[in-house]
Amino acid sequence: MLGWVALVPTLVALVQGGGKTSCRTGYAIGRAWWLGLVTGGVYFGGTLYWITDVMVTFGEVSLVIGVILNALLVAYLALFPVLCIVLVGWFIHVLGLYGLILFPPVWVATELARAHFFGGFPWVLLGYSQATVLPVAQLASVFGVYGLSAAVALVNASLVYAIYGARWRRVAPLTLALVSVFGVAAWGEHRMASKALLANGSPIRVALVQGNISQNDKWNLNMRESILDTYLVMTRAAAKHDPQLIVWPESSTPFAFEEDYSGAAAVRDVVRETGIPILLGSDQLEIASKVKYYNAAFLLGPGGETEAVYRKIHLVPFGEFVPFRKLLFFVEPLVEGVADFSAGSVPITLPIGGHLISTAICYEIVYPGLIREFVLAGSELLTTITNDAWYGTSSAPYQHFEQASMRAIEQGRYLVRAANTGISGIVNPYGQVESRTRIFERDTVVGDVMLLSDMTVYGIIGDSFAYLCSVITFLALVTALVYGRYESKILTDA
């Protein structure tokens, strides 16, 4: 809920130091740059603090190096708020308080850039602050998470306008913003109550297996049989509830599935024994001119055969590949310890009983565009498999789960999530969590979901709203530059 006011201090400082008559242009831009950097540092430092512990614990680097690397990541991500604040600061400098009107589209434009630049890292977008405020979150079914970011940014900007605007005009923007938000909330309540998305669909029962395997044990050769046996025993127990699909987490097999005959045979045997398809995560090797490794998801049909394989498209930096590997020679343990995975290229759907479903592996669930591609390809159920053991008891597993739930609202699909150490759960098309596990507990979730085919507005138009915000930002920048030069010329001539 703090998202509604979190950016007010930054905007207040921007208005105080960026007015037409308060300072020179260069000073205004420099001040805006530092305000953006501080804002981005607090934003990402406060939400991604856990990366330091991941690097120290699993990257085998010192605490100092871990802090430095995390700081570098935070500094990079902070560049996007910096760009936003500098642009809005310039608009305020040229247009006065009217420049605040442009804050929502500029913020969204820079979030869109963050989601795509250098492969993208769209973690903790501003709109995710409303993931649990479900009446408001329904807006994502129309404009996606970027629409929610715009709504939150609009309220922040309107509050600041109400502080500094002329007495007779200051209330109007804030009133309009609040009426819009409460209107969205009322519509969202009605949308959830109607349950229109559930009127048509095919029911299917799913079981999610949370093996709770420690990250230190996952690739311990002495633990292979024990780990596999854990999943086989839990699968047989889940099968007693008559699911039509059983989902194991990412990298659930302690071996590359296609390369270990005895291990894979044991998994195929349990599928044939129960007659229930299993979706599982494992590594895949492709041996051609050189060996390529993929983080993959395998769908085994009722007869135990492999029916489809999806290869992860969005890889985790420093987890599955190292960007700028040659430049990071000073963190050799981290660089050398990271397997160099290859990225998949096709958003493959998976067949289940005459229907199609999809899976996203680990953090690629936070890419709205990828999930939309699955739905456009015919997916009627969203699944995501992950291993969040890396994150310990930090806020990361909770951030990850809430961001995943936003995809259910955007696409109007059920989402089922199997996580090695949690959080595993089932989310309905309105973002309501129907069941979930606790972290670091061995557990199984069994629930009834529906295979759905109706499209949401967002499913049809995708990120058009975010791209429109980018166009508005560009046009506003051009206009402000022209206006600023024209005004300067008048003052010079005078």
Given a contact cutoff of 8 angstroms between Cβ atoms, the answer to whether 364 and 320 are in contact is no
Q: Is 312 one of the annotated active-site residues of the chain?
A: yes
The residue with tokens 């005078």 is 494
Q: Is 489 one of the annotated active-site residues of the chain?
A: no
SS3 275: coil
Among 302, 292, 223, smallest CA distance to 263 is for 223
pLDDT of 493 reads 43
What is the rounded CA–CA span in Å between residue 220 and residue 420? 16
Report the side by side order of strands in the sheet with 355-361: 350-352, 355-361, 382-386, 415-419, 425-427, 433-436
Q: Is 195 one of the annotated active-site residues of the chain?
A: no
Say which CATH class 200-459 falls into.
Answer: alpha beta
Return the amino acid letter for 206.
V
Return the amino acid letter for 412.
G
Measured between its terminal Cα atoms, the distance across the chain in Å is: 50
Return the amino acid letter for 153.
A
Any idea what DSSP says for residue 344? P
425 beta partners = 417, 436
Helical packing angle, 140-164 and 103-116, nearest 10°: 130
Q: Where are the alpha helices (DSSP H) in 96-170?
A: 103-116, 134-137, 140-164
Return the amino acid letter for 303.
G
What is the rounded CA–CA span in Å between residue 115 and residue 111? 6
Residue of 84, 111, 218, 312 marked active site:
312
Residue of 84, 111, 218, 250 marked active site:
250
pLDDT of 21 reads 45
What is the rounded CA–CA span in Å between residue 55 and residue 36? 27
**Other CB atoms within 10 A of residue 345 CB:** 8
Q: Which sequence spans correspond to the domains of the chain?
A: 2-194+463-493, 200-459
Residue of 362, 364, 402, 410 marked active site:
362
In whole angstroms, how far apart are CA 7 and each of 49, 85, 143, 156, 471? 20, 10, 21, 6, 23
132 beta partners = none
What is the rounded CA–CA span in Å between residue 316 and residue 341? 10
What is the rounded CA–CA span in Å between residue 49 and residue 59? 15
pLDDT of 459 reads 97
Per-residue pLDDT tens digits of the chain, which is 494 residues long: 788 999 999 999 999 876 554 455 566 678 889 999 999 999 999 999 999 988 888 777 788 888 988 999 999 999 999 999 999 998 998 888 889 999 999 999 999 999 999 888 999 999 999 999 999 999 999 999 999 999 999 999 999 999 987 766 778 888 889 999 999 999 999 999 999 999 889 999 999 999 999 988 887 888 899 999 999 999 999 999 999 999 999 999 999 998 888 899 999 999 999 999 999 999 999 887 778 889 999 999 999 999 999 999 998 776 665 655 555 555 555 544 445 788 888 999 999 999 999 999 999 999 999 999 999 999 999 999 999 998 999 999 999 999 999 999 999 999 999 999 999 999 999 999 999 999 999 999 999 999 999 999 999 999 999 999 999 999 999 988 876 665 544 434 44
CB within 8 Å of 425: residues ≥ 6 apart: 208, 401, 416, 417, 433, 434, 435, 436, 437, 445
